[in-house]
Amino acid sequence: MSFTDRAAWMLRCHTGWPRIDDLKRSSMQALQLPPSWEIQQDSDQERPVADLILVSDSGQRFAVVIESFEHVMLLTSSRGQRLLWRNSLPIFPSPLKMMEKLATRTRAAPVLWLPRARFGVFDVRTDTWPVMVVRGRAGLLEQVLYSSR
C-alpha cells in the first residue's frame, strides 16, 4: 500500500466518511412521521443540500440536515451565537451559515439534526432564519417538528 493510499485510508477512518452515510440512512429510517406528512428529496444540483425536506399537514416546510457531531454546545456573546465543540473550539466551516443558505434556497425552516449528540434542543439566531438544532434521536426530532408546526 502506497503512502497516499494509507493516508486516504487513515483519513476515511478518522473522519467517518463511510459511516456518515450509514448514520444518515439509519436516522431517516428511524423517523416515524404521520402519513399526512410529505417527505421530499432535495435536488443535488444546488448546494447546500438538505438530507430531507419535510412538509407537515399544515403546509410548513422543514429542511433537515443530519450531521454526526456528538459534542456540540452553543456560545452566545456580544458578537452573536456560534456552535462550538466541547473543547470550546469553533466548528469550521460553520454549519449555521450553510443552514442559512439552505433555508433561503428551499424556503423551509432549517433544522440541524445531530442524532449522535446528547439530548437537547436550542434555537440559534442568524441574520435571516432561526436555525433549530436538535441533539438526540428520531423521537426528539419528531416531538420538535410536531410542536413547531
CB–CB of 87/104 below 8 Å? no
> Sorting pLDDT into bands at 50, 70 and 90, what band is 9?
low
Question: What pLDDT sits at residue 81?
Answer: 81
Q: How far apart are CA 138 and CA 119, in angstroms?
A: 11
Q: How far apart are CA 29 and CA 120, in angstroms?
A: 21
Q: What percentage of the chain carries pLDDT values higher than 90?
A: 32
> Is the model's pLDDT at 145 over the cut of 60?
yes
User: Three-class SS of residue 128?
Assistant: coil
- Residue with cell string 485510508: 9
Higher pLDDT, 58 or 149: 58
Classify each residue of 96-119 as buried b or exposed e, where b means 16 or more C-beta atoms within 10 Å of its C-beta.
bebbbbbbebbebbbbbbbbbbee
